[in-house]
Structures are given as C-alpha cells and as structure tokens.
C-alpha cells in the first residue's frame, strides 16, 4: 500500500512524541491541607469592640478570617453603634472558638466593663483562642489571663502586660498556647497565628503535581500556555514563573516573569508567553500560600526552540503531558504539510 509523504510525516511526529514522553518525569508530592474550603471552615469567632476600637484593624483581620472560611460576630458594649453587631449581654462564649480584641482606644473602654472581663475569663476556662492586637492585649491583662504567658502588643501597654505577669517581647506576633497577640500593623500575622493556635496551620507550601505546556502559532510568533497543577489551590496566595534563556547549558539570563492564575478554579494555574528567538529556555516556578510559606522549584520545564522550514518548533525536554505533546506535534506537522503544499 502506498503511503503519502504527508501521512509518513504525521506518523513520524507521533512516534517522536512517544519518545519525548519516555524521557519525561512527573513531579508528585504528598497533598497538604485537605480542607478545600479553607483552614477556618466551621470556626466561630466573636470580636469585642467598644467606642474607639480601631475598626480598620478589625475589618482587615475579619477579611482574612472570613476568606479562610471563618464566621465572625461583632459584640459591642453600649454606645459602640457598630453595624450588624450584637450587644455584649447576648454573648455566650461557649458558642465560639475564638475571641478577638482589636486595638485603638476601645480596649481602655472594654476593661471598664466587668461583663467583658468575666466573658474573657470564661473564654479562657473553655480554652478558646484569645487573640488581641495592638492595644487589645490590655484587656487580657486586666482579665488576668496572661500570667506566665509570652505576649506582644503596642509598646505603650508593655508595663501593663508585665504587671499582669506576662513576658513581653516587642515583635510582630506571638502564639503561646491559646493566647495569640500581635503588634500593629500585623493583621495577616495575627490571622495566621489564630490558625496556628487552632491547630489548623499547614507548615508546608502546596506542591506541584504536574507542569506542562501547549502552544499555537500567531502573527506575533509562538504563543505558549504554561500550566501548573498544585496540590491545594484553595490556600494559594501567588504563583509565578521565571523564564530564563540558557546559554552553554550553564548561564541563565532572566528574560521574563509571569503571574499564573486559576481562572477556572480547578487547581490548574496558567499563563501565556510569546517566545521571539530560538534557543534553550528553562522555567522556574514560585509558589506562596496564605500562611506565607513559599517554595521555589527550578527547571520545572525546559524547552529548546528551533526553526524548521521557517517554522519555530518547540521541544520540551522534561514533560509529563503525553496528550499535550501529541496534539502539539500533530498540529505542527499539519502546519508544515500545509506550507509544503503552498
């Protein structure tokens, strides 16, 4: 049976794709953080406020806590007039997991309320997480729940904390058992500290399950789409790649940085990039999660771009996407055939 030249070329590319795959590898590591809804799912938080409480602090922290799955109730003493809040008299601390106290001038008002101090003591007896920022630890000191505890807070209340038996360190955040204290303006750090105190902190950054690429021909040249599948996309803060041109297989010249996003919310992050010259390229990936963990992996994809019949052809030297390679090479072969016919 006669086989046309075009058909032989397509078969050749398909065989090449299988050989590329045989030399490929897949990066697989254990999955961290199986709770896909966030580290604070089902966690109830009550925040104590009074006239003068720093609501910017409070809402900044609430933004993190609710984005991570937590539910926050604001409780106020008379005169606070905070929208969507409840009176302090309606608080039952047994219904909550965390008691949060923001700073500002509000803590000086809160310590005048015996009800507030009693609620803080009850929360401590129930082993709730007690979290306070800036001037907030003043309430913990007045309620006498930090004796022997290492804490931080705004420098103006250092003496109050020491007089309450605490060990004061001027730093960003301290987690000591169920007590979480932070200085201003470390809102994210306090929020992470709450997750730590609840035992829901994940120390290791989400890992790479697989990386691969596809490409298409455009008027500007080859348009590449890079993909990275991660082990826990719900806790990701940032994913980006660094693209390098490699000379002599040793020297790396950084040519671009691209942010990847999970547009389809399926745990697969991607971005596009146009290569304009032939050569060898390597791609590193940087991952940062909501807990400020980060991981940098070098050479997750290595490419060699050459020109065949005036058409740029990429070869991935470490790939884990057989189907993507087959499709890409098949498409390339069709382009070459069409050019040959023309």
Per-residue pLDDT tens digits for 63-85: 999 989 999 999 999 766 788 89
Residues 312-331 have pLDDT tens digits of 666 666 444 444 444 444 54
CATH class of 44-197: alpha beta
pLDDT classification of 95: cutoffs 50, 70, 90:
very high
Asked, as a colleague might, if the bond just before 185 is cis with ω within 30 of 0, I would say yes
- What mean pLDDT is reported for the chain? 82
The architecture in CATH of the region 5-32+204-341 reads Sandwich (2.60)
**Is pLDDT above 70 for 335?**
no
**Is pLDDT above 80 for 155?**
yes
Domain ranges of the chain: 5-32+204-341, 44-197
The whole-angstrom separation of Cα 226 and Cα 276 is 16
Q: Note the pLDDT of residue 304.
A: 85
Geometric angle at alpha carbon 262, from 259 and 266, rounded to 5°: 155
- Using a pLDDT cut of 70, give the percent of the chain over it: 77
The whole-angstrom separation of Cα 330 and Cα 181 is 59
Q: Note the pLDDT of residue 31.
A: 21
Residues 179-211 have pLDDT tens digits of 999 999 999 999 999 999 999 888 788 889 999
Bridge-based pairing state of the strands 129-133 and 179-182: parallel
Residues 238-264 have pLDDT tens digits of 999 999 999 877 778 999 999 999 888
């Amino acid at each position: 049976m006669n086989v046309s030249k075009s058909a032989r070329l397509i078969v050749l590319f398909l065989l090449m794709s299988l050989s590329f795959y045989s030399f490929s590898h897949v990066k697989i590591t254990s999955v961290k953080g199986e709770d896909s809804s966030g580290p604070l799912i089902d966690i109830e938080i009550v925040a104590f406020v009074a006239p003068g409480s720093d609501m910017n602090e409070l809402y900044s922290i609430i933004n993190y806590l609710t984005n991570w799955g937590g539910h926050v109730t604001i409780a106020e003493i008379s005169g606070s007039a905070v929208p969507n809040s409840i009176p302090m008299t309606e608080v039952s601390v047994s219904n909550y997991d965390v008691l949060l106290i923001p700073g500002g001038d509000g803590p000086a008002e809160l310590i005048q309320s015996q009800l507030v101090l009693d609620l803080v003591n009850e929360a401590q007896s129930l082993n709730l997480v007690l979290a306070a920022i800036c001037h907030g630890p003043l309430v913990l000191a007045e309620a006498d729940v930090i004796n022997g505890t290492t804490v931080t807070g705004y420098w103006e209340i250092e003496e109050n904390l020491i007089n309450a038996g605490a060990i004061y360190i001027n730093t960003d955040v301290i987690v000591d058992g169920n007590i979480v204290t932070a200085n201003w303006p470390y809102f994210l750090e306090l929020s992470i500290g709450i997750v730590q105190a609840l035992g829901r902190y994940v120390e290791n950054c989400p890992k790479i399950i697989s990386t691969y690429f596809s490409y298409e021909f455009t008027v500007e040249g080859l348009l590449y789409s890079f993909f990275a599948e991660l082990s826990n996309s719900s806790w990701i803060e940032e994913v980006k790649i660094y693209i390098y041109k490699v000379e002599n297989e040793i020297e790396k010249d950084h040519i671009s940085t691209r942010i990847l996003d999970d547009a389809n919310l399926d745990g697969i992050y991607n971005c596009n990039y146009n290569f304009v010259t032939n050569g060898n390229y390597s791609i590193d990936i940087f991952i940062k999660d909501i807990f400020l963990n980060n991981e940098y992996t070098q050479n997750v994809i290595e490419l060699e771009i050459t020109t065949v019949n005036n058409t740029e052809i990429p070869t991935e030297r470490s790939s884990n996407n057989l189907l993507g390679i087959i499709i890409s090479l098949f498409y390339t072969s069709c382009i070459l055939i069409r050019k040959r016919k023309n």
